[in-house]
A and B are shown apart, each in its own frame.
Chain A
Amino acid sequence: MNGAHDLGGMHGFGPVNPDPNEKLFNHEWERRIFAMYFATLASDIYSIDELRKNIEIMDPVHYLSSSYYEHWVESIETSLIDRKIVTKEEIAERMKKIDKEAA
C-alpha cells in the first residue's frame, strides 16, 4: 500500500538535523506505549503486521504531523478496538476517571 508513510524520494522535508544529545524517550507515555507494544504482541492479541498496517492507514495529515510514538498509540488503540479487546467508549471513560483522580 502506498500512502503518506511511503516517503522514499519525496522532496520538501528539509534537512535531517540530527541531535547528538537526544534521549531515547522524551516522555513517560512514550516508555509505556513502547513497552505495551511488546507486551501486547507477546499476548498474541494481534500481529506486528497489523500494527504496521494500522500506522499506514492513519490520516495522512495526522501521520505527517505527529511524532513516532504517537503513531504507535494510534496503531495500538486501533488494533485493540478492532480486536474488541477494548472499546473507544471504555478508553474515553477511563481517561475521564484518570483526569478526575489527578485533579
Chain B
Amino acid sequence: MGAHHEPPAELSTRVKAIESLLIERGYFAAEALDKIVQIHEHELGPRNGAKVVARAWADQDYKKWLLTDATAAIADMGYSGAQGEDMVVVENTPDVHNLVVCTLCSCYPWPTLGLPPTWYKAPPYRARAVIDPRGVMKEFGLDVPEDVEVRVWDSNAELRYLVMPMRPAGTEGFSEEELANLVTRDSMIGVAVALSPSAV
C-alpha cells in the first residue's frame, strides 16, 4: 500500500520552496527547524514511557494516581506537552489485554513514546486493529489466550492512550531503572508484553 511507494522527487524541492518562502517572510528561522528535529529525533522516545510504567510497577500509590489521572501523574515525571495533553493509561491484567490504535490518523502520546513507528501510521494496522486485534497481535508474535479479554482503544486528537503492561515474573527487588529496561515501546502500544528479565 501507500507507504511503500517511493514519493515523487519533486517533494523535496517543494518542501525546500515552502521553507525558504516562510523563512524569508519571518515566520521562523532555519535553526529553529533544526532544533525541533533534534528534540524529536534524539530526546523524546519510549524510554520516557518506560520510566512511567516502571515507577507504577514499583510504587502502588503512583500506580493508582497513574490509572486515575494519567495526565497529572505523567507530568509529575516531567513528560508533558504537544500530543500528550490528555492521557489515559490502561492496565493489562491476567484477564484483560489492551491495544492502542488511531484509526483516523496517527494520534500517539509523543511525550511518553516519541514519534509513532511507520506501521502505526499505515493503513493495515489502522484498518485491522479494531476488527481483528488478535490477528494483528499475532503478526507481532503475540498470541493472547482466548480467555483473556482484548480491549482496543482508538486514540484521537484530544485523548492519547498508553498501555501499562503486566510486570514480568522474576523481577522482585528490581530497581525502577532495571524495571524500565523491560518496558518496550511495543508493550506500551499493546502489540507486545514486557520483556522477561532473561531476555535483557
Chain A residues whose CB sits within 8 angstroms of the CB of B36 once the complex forms: 34-35, 38-39
Q: Which of A8, A16, A38 contacts B131 (CB 8 A)?
A: A8
Known: A86-B21, A95-B14. Is A52-B105 also a contact (CB below 8 A)?
yes
**Contact between chains at A16 and B128 (CB < 8 Å):** yes
Report whether over half of chain A's contact residues are helix, strand or loop; otherwise say mixed: helix
> Are the C-beta atoms of A91 and B11 separated by less than 8 Å?
no
Contact B15 A85 (CB under 8 A): no
Decide yes or no: A8 and B103 within 8 Å by CB, A36-B18, A52-B157 being known contacts: yes
Residues 79-94 of A, flagged 1 when their CB comes within 8 A of B and 0 if not, give 0100001100011001
Contacts A9-B130, A76-B18, A85-B22 hold; do A99 and B13 have CB atoms under 8 A apart? yes
Would you list which residues of chain B between 119 and 137 have a CB under 8 Å from chain A?
119, 121-131, 136
Which residues on the A side are within 8 Å of B28 (C-beta)?
36, 39-40, 42-43
Query: With contacts A8-B129, A10-B127, A13-B123 known, what are 18 further pairs, Cβ within 8 A?
Result: A8-B104, A9-B131, A11-B127, A15-B124, A17-B124, A22-B118, A34-B40, A36-B19, A36-B33, A49-B157, A52-B105, A68-B106, A86-B22, A91-B17, A94-B20, A95-B13, A98-B13, A98-B16
Q: Which residues of B contact A (CB under 8 A)?
A: 1-3, 5, 7, 10-22, 25, 27-28, 32-34, 36-37, 40-41, 82, 101, 103-106, 114-115, 117-119, 121-131, 136, 139-140, 154, 157, 191
